[in-house]
């Protein structure tokens, strides 16, 4: 299980604020788009798209996601974008397979063997990297609502989320390849089983790349760009410093 720490400049543990400082927009001083797109995702999550390709030079899309206790979306694979999840509230179970699926026609459980997914439970302050071509999903392991931020690079996935509104899982699975995704139509279609821990991806969350991506000024994107550093390495997981009051 991932251990979660917030660090100050000296590397010592920093106390969490009662109002939760794990706000990615504050950490990076990102100015949200006006009238953000808000919609329900395939797993019943509520997405608020604070930044989309039109306002980031197509470099990334950023959404805040809230979801209730229980499993999330069906397992799926991104073929266009890499993804980061930054946990703001709750206990989020993230599952990802080790197999590499660079061909969009290589569909686990259809014309390729199913994957075994490795699971980790992440708490506030944890940043997780989900590279393209790997089966993955997430869920809410806690008893209360969870909140996290998702960043996809490059941008464009917002078009998929708009297109999937009101569709059945089978219809989502059929249309997803148009947007560079393969999306299972059931929870076990791509998955042979799940095991706790053991993922080779949990140790490297590409923090430097993430910081550079969100700290680069683009038209309409940000006001002041703060000084953000990679703090200390703890249990193999890099952390972002929480926003200060």
Closest alpha carbon to 150 in 66, 42, 31: 66
Does residue 232 form part of some domain?
A: no
CATH number at residue 174: 2.60.120.10
Pairwise CA distance, residues 215 & 192, whole Å: 39
> Residue 190 and residue 197: Cα distance in Å, rounded?
19
Is residue 83 within 8 Å of 198, Cβ to Cβ? no
In the predicted model, what is the mean pLDDT of the chain? 82
Q: Which of 12, 56, 29 is nearest to 151 (CA)?
A: 56
Number of separate domains in the chain: 1
Q: Is the CB of residue 180 less than 8 Å from the CB of residue 101?
A: no
pTM for the structure as a whole: 0.83
Question: Do the domain assignments include residue 143?
Answer: yes
Residue 229 maps to a domain: no
Asked if 65 and 84 touch (Cβ cutoff 8 Å), the reply is no
Q: Biggest alpha carbon distance in the chain?
A: 52
53 vs 199, residue with greater confidence = 53
Does residue 155 fall inside a structural domain?
A: yes
- pLDDT band at 10, cuts 50/70/90? very low
Q: Decide if 124 is inside a domain.
A: yes
pLDDT at 21: 78
Domain coverage including residue 137: 24-215
- Tokens linked to 60: 């990334």
161 within domain boundaries = yes
Is residue 2 included in any domain, yes or no?
no
Q: What is the structure's pLDDT at 203?
A: 66
Q: Which residue has the higher pLDDT, 189 or 18?
A: 189
**What are the C-alpha distances in Å from 123 to residues 64, 77, 87, 108, 226?**
16, 23, 6, 29, 24
Q: How far apart are the first and last CA of the chain?
A: 29
Is the pLDDT reported for residue 88 higher than 90?
yes
Q: Is residue 14 part of a domain?
A: no
Residues in the chain, overall count:
245
């Amino acid at each position: 299980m991932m251990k979660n720490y917030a660090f100050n400049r000296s590397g010592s543990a920093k106390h969490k604020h009662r109002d939760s400082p794990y706000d990615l927009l504050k950490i990076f001083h990102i100015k949200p788009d006006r009238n953000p797109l808000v919609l329900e995702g395939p797993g019943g999550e509520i997405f608020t798209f604070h930044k989309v390709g039109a306002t980031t030079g197509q470099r990334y899309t950023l959404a805040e996601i809230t979801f209730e206790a229980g499993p999330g979306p069906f397992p799926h694979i991104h073929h266009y974008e890499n993804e980061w999840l930054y946990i703001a509230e709750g206990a989020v179970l993230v599952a990802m397979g080790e197999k590499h699926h660079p061909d969009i026609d290589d569909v686990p459980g259809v014309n390729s063997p199913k994957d075994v997914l490795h699971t980790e439970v992440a708490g506030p302050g944890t940043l997780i990297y989900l590279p393209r071509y790997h089966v993955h999903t997430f869920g809410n392991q806690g008893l209360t609502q969870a909140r996290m931020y998702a960043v996809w690079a490059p941008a464009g996935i917002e078009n998929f989320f708009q297109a999937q509104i009101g569709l059945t899982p089978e219809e989502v699975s059929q249309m997803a390849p148009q947007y560079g995704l393969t999306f299972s139509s059931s929870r076990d279609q791509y998955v042979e089983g799940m095991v706790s821990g053991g993922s080779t991806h949990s140790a490297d969350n590409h923090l430097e790349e993430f910081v550079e991506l969100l700290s680069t000024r683009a038209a309409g994107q940000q006001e002041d760009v703060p000084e953000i550093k990679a703090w200390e390495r703890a249990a193999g997981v890099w952390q972002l410093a929480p926003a200060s009051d």
